């Protein structure tokens, strides 16, 4: 059995282009439904471009942080740009479903 980090990465790797999952949804699919914050920690440490961590958002649709960029705001702007490029609708810093 893989550890939690490996399971999270495997789930996120499967998020299709143009779709998003919340941290809680990723946690549930990784077998630890109460570990949404831990998913955030795993994503914050992810620099593997094969794992599209920009597709993981908060449950309320907020974009959240992104570990790229010179500042947290710059990282968020990069995440928004990547999501928009994939066809995700974003308004006022939230994904519109």
C-alpha 79/C-alpha 67 separation (Å) is 9
Please give the Cα distance from 49 to 60 (Å, whole number).
25
Q: Are 24 and 36 in contact (CB under 8 A)?
A: yes
How far apart CA 30 and CA 10 sit, in angstroms, is: 8
User: Which residues form the catalytic set?
Assistant: 53
Q: Is residue 79 within 8 Å of residue 44, measured between CB atoms?
A: no
């Amino acid at each position: 059995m893989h550890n939690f980090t490996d399971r999270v990465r495997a789930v996120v790797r499967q998020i299709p282009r143009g779709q998003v999952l919340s941290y809680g949804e990723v946690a549930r699919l990784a077998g630890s439904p109460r570990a949404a914050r831990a998913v955030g920690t795993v994503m914050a440490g992810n620099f593997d471009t094969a794992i599209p961590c920009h597709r993981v958002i908060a449950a309320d649709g907020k974009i959240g942080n992104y570990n790229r960029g010179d500042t947290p705001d710059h990282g968020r702007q990069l995440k928004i740009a990547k999501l928009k490029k994939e066809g995700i609708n974003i308004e006022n810093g939230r994904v519109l479903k």
